[in-house]
Chain A
């Protein structure tokens, strides 16, 4: 399957711990996006990359959050000193970057902070 892959699918952690999520986009896509979705809400934009460059970050992305895409392929989203409010589904998506507007989403990584 050559879709967007996210790992781990589920993560349970204690408050204060660090967590990292990985996203492998569709191979020929040069844009990669991170979204966060909480129960009953639509996905909220966090950040996006074009190749390895992080071009935009939402104000939702506090200093505890950092995202990288070191070689323009896979991306990681790290959350430091997790808080209970970080509990959410973290979604990754990728696109060709030709301004067609179509994103291809992974199944998400669900974070539960105890």
Chain B
């Protein structure tokens, strides 16, 4: 079964600093890999998805993620953090049924 590991349950950065949120998937390559974001008191929103068409995936709000098969990783990055990026971020693989298996999440805090 597909699974992911998100290293670091909490990440804190200063506004303007690089954001790096880590995700490693299980050894078998899933058909799809996703990053979802959950803002306080809101539903989960799709940030970006990997579908094997390109290893570098660009998402909304300046986020991107690079799929690295050799490292079984799909880390999420943003060059410059903004206060509005404070949220919980989830990495999730999906198979052909669209069922997502979420990681435990990483809470991003952004300090002024």
CA distance in complex: A106, B43 (Å): 5
**Within the complex, which residue of A41, A56, A93, A101 is in contact with B104, where a contact is CB–CB below 8 Å?**
A41
Q: Is A65 an interface residue (CB 8 A)?
A: no
The answer to whether A97 touches B98, judged by C-beta atoms less than 8 angstroms apart, is: yes
Size of the B side of the interface (Cβ < 8 Å), in residues, is 25
Binds A, one of B11-19, B45-53, B63-71, B74-82: B45-53
Q: Is B87 an interface residue (CB 8 A)?
A: no
Q: How far is the CB of A34 from chain B (nearest CB, A)?
A: 11
The answer to whether B49 touches A43, judged by C-beta atoms less than 8 angstroms apart, is: no
**Within the complex, which residue of A33, A55, A101 is in contact with B34, where a contact is CB–CB below 8 Å?**
A101
CA distance in complex: A91, B100 (Å): 13
Nearest-CB residue, chain A, relative to B32: A101
CA distance in complex: A43, B4 (Å): 13
List the count of A-B residue pairs having beta carbons below 8 Å apart. 66
A94-110 CB contacts (< 8 Å) to partner B: 95, 97, 99-103, 105-108
Interface size classification for chain A = 20 to 34
The answer to whether B103 touches A56, judged by C-beta atoms less than 8 angstroms apart, is: no
The answer to whether B44 touches A31, judged by C-beta atoms less than 8 angstroms apart, is: no
Residues of A within 8 A of B44 (CB): 43, 91, 93, 103, 105
Residues of B within 8 A of A21 (CB): none
Nearest-CB residue, chain A, relative to B106: A42
Q: How far is the CB of B59 from chain A (nearest CB, A)?
A: 12
Instruction: Write 19 A-B pairs (CB below 8 A) sorted by A numbering.
Output: A40-B104, A41-B104, A42-B92, A42-B103, A45-B101, A48-B97, A56-B97, A91-B44, A95-B98, A97-B98, A100-B51, A101-B49, A101-B94, A101-B98, A102-B46, A103-B44, A103-B46, A105-B44, A107-B43
